[in-house]
Amino acid sequence: MTRVTESNLSVVNRQLEQRTPQEIIRWAHEKFGKRLAVLSAMQEAGCTICHMVAQLGLQNDVDVLFVDTGVNFPETLETIERIRREYGLNVISLKPARTMAEQTRDEGVLYLSKEGQKRCCELRKKEPLKQIIGKYDALIGSLRRGEGGKRSSVPVLALDTELNLLRVHPIFNMSREEMEQYIAANNVIVNPLHAQGYPTISCNRCTTPVLPGEPERAGRWRHLENETVYCAINPTDRKREDDGEEEHILMDAETVQRIVDFSI
């Protein structure tokens, strides 16, 4: 196996930054084939990615992964069914080992404290995603630099050392206005909760609507006074401990060669 570091990706990232989201998705499909998947929480950005994948005719090759925490809003689950039915995409639900009732019985109501929230997200979001380790070489995500915070410098290609794969961010440079224009022009399926004051959506226990003038993510973990902003399912959002060694993932040499031999 060959080590892949951020330094290895720097040239490819610079080249991909000049491409459209559709071109980046097509590039990723050409490089990874059926070992490429989309990770979507069925929010506006993720639904935009699903529409692009369907429009490119990649339904038979690219799975869509949804982490079903067991406490999602009904509107989110309805959005999944529409994506399956109308776009013909294979949406795979990844579930925690225990139901929320079982988890609460064993560990109490975790999400009421900052440390408990971290534990809850670990159990209900990060652990289910580990089911895919070894199945995919790359995951398409929907992070945008316009979201600010830790995402303000998200690269097109990023390492995910926990899952040992690449994260691909085709709409990294798309503004909210551009995304909304794309959604309107293409009649993209979107989660109905967005029209009810939810700019971001996750579990029903920890997501509330946002008032005019509040930050987009003000409705996430509001009961924790916004000390928590991210669930850390995306490596870009996680704080890395600097141990002096450059982060890396391991891939077979042929796949690495396909990545670094840029073509589109």
Identify how many contiguous H helices and E strands the chain contains and give both numbers: 9, 8
Residue 75: its H or E element: helix 74-87
Neighbours of 135 (CB within 10 A): 14
Indicate if 231 belongs to the active site.
yes
| 44-55 helix and 176-186 helix, angle to the nearest 10 degrees | 50
Tell how strand 157-160 and strand 165-168 pair up: antiparallel
- Which residue is catalytic, options 47, 50, 120, 231? 231
- Indicate the Cα dihedral angle 154, 78, 20, 246, nearest 10°: 30
Catalytic residue ranges:
231
